[in-house]
Every structure is written in C-alpha cells, then in structure tokens.
Amino acid sequence: MTNLHESLQGILTKKELELLPRRFKRIGHVAIINLPDELLNRSQEIALKIMELTGAKTVALSEGGITGKFRVPRLRVIAGNPNTEVIHVENGCRFKMDVAKVMFSPGNVHERKRIADLVSPGEVVVDLFAGVGQFSIPIAVHAKPRRVHSIEMNQIAFGYLQENVRINKVGHIVRPIMGDCSAVAPKGVADRVIMGILHVTHRYLPLAMEVLKPEGGVIHYHETVPSPLRFKRPVERIFQAAGGREVEIINRRVVKRYSPGVDHVVVDAKIGGMK
Ligand SMILES: C[S@@+](CC[C@H](N)C(=O)[O-])C[C@H]1O[C@@H](n2cnc3c(N)ncnc32)[C@H](O)[C@@H]1O
C-alpha cells in the first residue's frame, strides 16, 4: 500500500498519512477499507485514489466488522458504483455474492486452496457452514470428491451458494442443503468435515463427530483463540468431543491474525473409528 500513501502525499497531512491503514480488502470490483474516525472527513479523497490506483469500481467503508450468527458485514459505499454484488475470481473459481450482505474473507485464500489440495478422489465431504461456497466450490472444482454436502442456514448466502454451484458447473458434486446444520447435517457419511465458522465452532464438535463415517475421518476445526492459547484450547476441545475415539492432530496453522492478540487458527484432526 506504499502507493496509496505516496499518492496521497500533499493531499493528506503527515499525521493523516500516519493514520492511513496499510491495507484494504478487495473482493471483485469492491475495495473495502477500514478508516479511523480521524480520517472519515477525508474518505472521499482516499476512496477516489484507491479507485484510480487499483481499478476498483466501488469503495466501501467497513463499519464495525462482521456481526451476528449469520456473519453479516457492515459496509457503507462511499464512492463509485453503488452495486455491491460482485463476481470474485480466486484459484480458478468464481464466487458471486453481495459483499454488503454476506461474509467473504480474502485473508483465507490460502486456507481455501490448502483444503482443496487435501481432498482425495472419491471422498465425501460435509461443509457444515458453507457460506457462499468458500470451501465447497474449490474442493469440487479442483479435487475429485464423490459428493460435497454444503449446509448453510442464511437464505441470502444459500442463494449465492446455489448460484456459485451453477456458475462453476459443479452441480453433479455439490449438494446445497438449506438449514441449521444441527438439524439437517447428514450423519455417518463424511470422510472429511469442514467447520469454517468462528466463535462458536466448539459447540458443533459433537455434531462433526457424528457426521463422520463410523470408521472415522478428518475434521478441519477453525477457532478464534487468544494467541497464548493458540493451539492448546482447540486441541483440548477436539480431544474432549472425540470422547475416547482416537485423535491424531495432523496439522495446525494460524490462518490469520483476527484482532490484536487473537488468532484465527485451524486444526486438522484425524478421528478414529467409533468404539
Ligand atoms: C463466517 S461464515 C464462513 C463461511 C465459510 N465457511 C468460510 O469459512 O469462509 C459462516 C457461515 O455459517 C453460517 N451458519 C452459522 N451457523 C450455522 C448453522 N448452525 N448451520 C448452518 N449454517 C450456519 C452463516 O450463515 C455463515 O454464512
């Protein structure tokens, strides 16, 4: 983002430049920026410069992060085209969504690719919190699973999930299921379970265990965790939910810094068969 800083020199004061964020998100044609209060009265100059430098057609201000159980972002368009429905292209997949209505984290790009690379031909995958297909679509496009069951309970995200299955031509693999995964997840079917949600993930660990095939499989468990507890808490929770089934931690990584002192981590755990 040196360019943005450089190109705003002479427009913003030295103090304002110091407050200018180093980064912004880009999803499709929309650039999303977080500005401190002190810079809100300069948002137009900043937004116009972002459009000029990046070719973004829309600039939106992030107002308070992603909220609620549906993980809805709070955005306000401040410049350019007011349309926030995008087609975002990533890893050879196309994601259609309204970025003002559904959550999509550009910071998870490597995790989406990593998971797609792990899936073996013929696997059955259950994506418990599918969103617009962030994991399900790359898996279906790049791996050769037999079936991906993609569960989503937010009607708007579900509509885009269905649309993304169609535009990526993976309707023969991905089965979107509308509803609360606690009620609608198929049980005893999965070689792999994806738990791509934050804050409440541990509550669904017992469900994930039931969704796995009786002979076991792999779960990808996401959690936001204070940095000092980084892998300890998620690993303990997995062992607890496994209730005596064998657990092998096969990978663990920080997906991204979630907030100061808090990491978004993922733990891959191989769960043994039912006793
Ligand atoms: C944070 S988004 C993440 C989407 C995607 N898994 C990812 O990691 O990028 C979580 C999604 O899970 C959905 N969700 C939350 N609780 C759910 C539940 N109990 N059953 C099904 N979907 C749920 C929300 O509506 C939201 O679309």
Q: State the pLDDT at residue 69.
A: 67
Counting ligand 1 atoms within 8 A of each CB, the residue from 91, 109, 129 with the most, and so the one to mutate, is 129
Q: Is the CB of 101 under 6 A from ligand 1?
A: no
Cβ atoms within 10 Å of 119's Cβ, excluding its own: 22
Distance 102 CA to ligand 1 centre (A): 10
Q: Is the CB of 95 under 6 A from ligand 1?
A: no
> Ligand 1: does its nearest atom lie under 6 Å from the Cβ of 152?
yes
- The pLDDT score that the predictor gives to residue 1 is 47
Q: Per residue of the chain (275 residues), what is the pLDDT tens digit?
A: 458 899 999 999 999 999 999 889 999 999 999 999 999 999 999 999 999 999 999 999 998 766 666 667 789 999 999 999 999 999 999 999 999 999 999 989 999 999 999 999 999 999 999 999 999 999 999 999 999 999 999 999 999 999 999 999 999 999 999 999 999 999 999 999 999 999 999 999 999 999 999 999 999 999 999 999 889 999 999 999 999 999 999 999 999 998 899 999 999 999 999 97
Q: Which atom of ligand 1 is nearest to the CA of 129?
A: 12
C-alpha 224 – ligand 1 centre gap (Å): 14
252 CA to middle of ligand 1, Å?
21
In this prediction, residue 157 carries a pLDDT of 97
Nearest residue (by CA) to ligand 1, atom 14, is 129
Longest Cα–Cα distance in the chain: 69
Q: How far, in Å, is the centroid of ligand 1 from the Cα of 199? A: 11
Q: Cα(131) to centroid of ligand 1, in Å?
A: 5
- For 105-271, CATH gives 3.40.50.150
Query: Where do we find the tokens 């076991």?
Result: 216
DSSP the chain: -HHHHHHTBTTB-HHHHHHS-S--EEETTEEEE---GGGGGGHHHHHHHHHHHH--SEEEEEEEEEETTTTEEEEEEEEE----EEEEEETTEEEEEETTTS---GGGHHHHHHHHHHPPTT-EEEETT-TTTTTHHHHHHHS--SEEEEEE--HHHHHHHHHHHHHTT-TTTEEEEES-HHHHPPSS-BSEEEE---SSGGGGHHHHHHHB-TT-EEEEEEEEEEGGGTTHHHHHHHHHHHTTS-EEEEEEEEEEEEETTEEEEEEEEEE----
CA distance 102 to 212: 28
Say what the pLDDT of residue 23 is: 86
Which atom of ligand 1 is nearest the CA belonging to 204? 19
- Between 3.90.1150.10, 3.40.50.300, 3.40.50.720, 3.30.300.110, what CATH number should domain 2-83 receive? 3.30.300.110
Name which residue sits closest to atom 22 of ligand 1, judged by CA: 152
pLDDT of residue 65: 64
- Domain boundaries, given as residue ranges, for the chain: 2-83, 105-271
Decide whether any atom of ligand 1 lies within 6 Å of the 70 Cβ.
yes
- Residue 241: beta bridge partners? none
Q: Is 136 in the pocket of ligand 1 (CB under 6 A)?
A: no
Q: Is the CB of 58 under 6 A from ligand 1?
A: no
Q: Is the CB of 157 under 6 A from ligand 1?
A: yes
The rounded distance, in Å, linking the Cα atoms of 239 and 11 is 55
Check pocket membership of 56 for ligand 1, CB cut-off 6 A.
no
80 lines ligand 1 (CB under 6 A): no
Look at the pTM and tell me if it is higher than 0.85: yes
